[in-house]
Amino acid sequence: MTMQGDVVVVTGGTSGIGQVAAETLANRGARIVLIAREPQRAAGTLAKLKVAGPDAQHSVHLADLSSIEATRRVGAAIAASESRIDVLINNAGAVFGRREVSVDGLEMTFAVNHMAYFVLTQALRDRLVATPGARVVSTASAAHTSGKLDFNDLQSTTSYSSIRAYGTSKLCNILFTRELARRFMGTGVTANCLHPGFVATRFASQSGGLIQALAPLAKLFAVTPQQGADTIIYLTASPDVADKTGLYFYKRKPISPSPTAQDNAAASVLWATSEAIAGGVKLGFGVDPGG
């Protein structure tokens, strides 16, 4: 499907499945707005986008998405510079072999993999609602089944396991999508998430600890970035899912996540908790349609 003239905001688009998705969508006519942390990688990806879609004015905004303030600031900058946003792809993610803390005092996996999705989507809400048929596509993972949502210790202060922290962040992605879809009800904006498969990318290559040591071996059994990006592209561009919302996809098909990931009460509590962490700024999401 052509995306001529559509504006697509992409995080995590300078490598792996995010970059494949961005280039593919640029080739279909979309104008890509990248959010990236590293200037050199951003410049390299921007050059590739100009080759893939030479007729569009692709752009890059630099921000460290582990910082709530930086994420809010880049979201505000994009909202100010774009009159419409057809798709927001929340794809940036990381895993950390040892517990690290963000500038906001948050455990880094939670900060990058969940709070960045939450804060950026809030910042772009008005532009999404103003764009007919807009979509939010978030990269989750089957790893969510290893997560445990403990609202008394979301920052893993009592104990830390990189696998559990990553799984919990991916569980948050699915619950966030469910609640986001509910809060977008009636606006015309859809929200879906996906498991891309285990993909052979640079992901985990700098995580430290056992995960980094095992990553090269595990990637021998991984799918390619092209295969991993396929469902992102499908959810972004296909008319087949124009009216689908609040779902979790794998290989272009909606599947059931874990029972914990289907807990609407937990999704609501996670939203309220995330809102409090972000400073209580609702930015239009304050009304709870379900009561």
Rounded CA separation 91/114 (Å): 10
Give φ, ψ of 245 to 5 degrees. -150, 150
Tokens 């445990």 correspond to 148
Nearest to 59 by CA among 31, 96, 87: 31
**CA triplet 67, 189, 29: central angle to 5 degrees?**
85
Q: Which of 117, 166, 234, 248 is catalytic?
A: 166
Distances, alpha carbon 281 to alpha carbons 11, 47, 123, 180, 205, in Å = 22, 36, 10, 15, 35
**How crowded is residue 208: how many other Cβ atoms within 10 Å of its Cβ?**
14
Q: Tokens 């596509």 label which residue?
A: 137
Distances (CA, A) of 172 to 40, 64, 116, 264: 30, 20, 12, 12
Q: And the tokens for 152?
A: 């008394």
DSSP code string of 18-53: HHHHHHHHHHTTPEEEEEES-HHHHHHHHHHHHHHS
C-beta of residue 123 within 8 angstroms of C-beta of residue 79: yes
CB–CB of 97/211 below 8 Å? yes
Task: Tell which residue, 108, 78, 77, has the closest CA to residue 93.
Answer: 108
Q: Please count the helices (runs of H) and the strands (runs of E) in the chain.
A: 9, 8
- The reply to whether 160 belongs to the active site is no
Active site residues: 166
